[in-house]
Amino acid sequence: MIPVLEVPLGQDLTEFTACLWRSGISHRVVESEHYQVVWLQNPADAETVQHLFARWRAGESLEQVQLKPARRRRFSPAPSLKQLPLTLLLIASSFVVSILIGFGKDLNTLSFFSFAPFSLSAGTLSYPSVSDVLASGQLWRLWTPIFMHFSLMHILFNLLWVWLVGGRMEAMQGRLSLLGLVMFSGLLSNLAQFWHTGPVFGGMSGVVFALIAYSWLWDRQKQTPRFGLPPALMGFMLFWVALGYTGMLGSLGFGAIANTAHLVGLLAGLLWLPVGRRLQRGRASL
């Protein structure tokens, strides 16, 4: 279901919803803190319903009105590729950058995409501070580590979640909301991991943890869930964070684990909820 209208709590929608039912348009009205939100089962009905509401709000009686609902498409568990340009870009960029760095073997290219340029001499790693990186104008470094992966298992695991959860978020809430969460969680998780371990780290894991935390909290806060992920998934991800701190994941082929990025990404996803709500309200309101 998708939200298409937000109406003040005090407004009586009886005549409006009766017209929708009479017309065979499946919907639900869910009360939030300040609004009544009208959700539709079929996204193709959205424009028709919004126009009908505008007519009704202007004073037109709907007692004799009966609409023709949009033709329903067969349910598809996954959105079409055309709906997911940002998700596909994140996946493609991860593969391209990971191949360019040789999955961590090409140190020169790895240094270019890392949070800070580094050099290795006599076993000593040297790199500038965050302020020096910012002063140099190399702002891409704040985000490019999310595209670097150091093993096939690492990249496949992360991008599977980007496809499943990020794709669902883009299709349901729009690419602006997904882009904002990716940039917010990517920046915070990269900063935290850099301060903890230095510049040699990478992966989309911080963003993945943010996506899962955000979707989990969104579903818990909404009477009509948008993501529909198993509630136990959040517990699994918390277990995964704890497992990362034990060092066991490295022996399973995931390489060195950016545990700080995981934890901070998870927190970033929870913090993004108010922003996501505001963005969604803007999409749903007339």
Region of residue 242 (left: phi > 0; alpha: psi -120 to 50; beta: else): alpha
Amino acid identity of 144?
T
DSSP 196: H
C-alpha 159, offset from chain centre: 12
- Among 261, 95, 252, 229, which Cα is nearest to 161's? 229
- Spot the catalytic one: 94, 114, 205, 215: 205
Helix (H) or strand (E) holding 97: helix 85-100
- Is 129 designated active site? no
Token representation of residue 81 = 């590729």
Tell me the CA distances in angstroms from 28 to 54, 223, 283, one per residue in order: 18, 11, 17
Helices 259-271 and 175-197 sit at what angle, rounded to 10 degrees? 140
* Closest residue by Cα to residue 256 from 264, 245, 266, 265: 245
**Amino acid at position 271, single letter:** L
Q: Determine the Cα angle at 79 with ends 268 and 279, to 5°.
A: 40
Query: Does the active-site annotation cover 262?
Result: yes
> Measured between alpha carbons, how far is 143 from 145 in angstroms, rounded to an integer?
6
Q: Which two tokens stand for residue 150?
A: 């150091």
List of residues 6+ apart from 243 with CB closer than 8 A: 249
Residues annotated as catalytic (active site), given as ranges: 205, 262
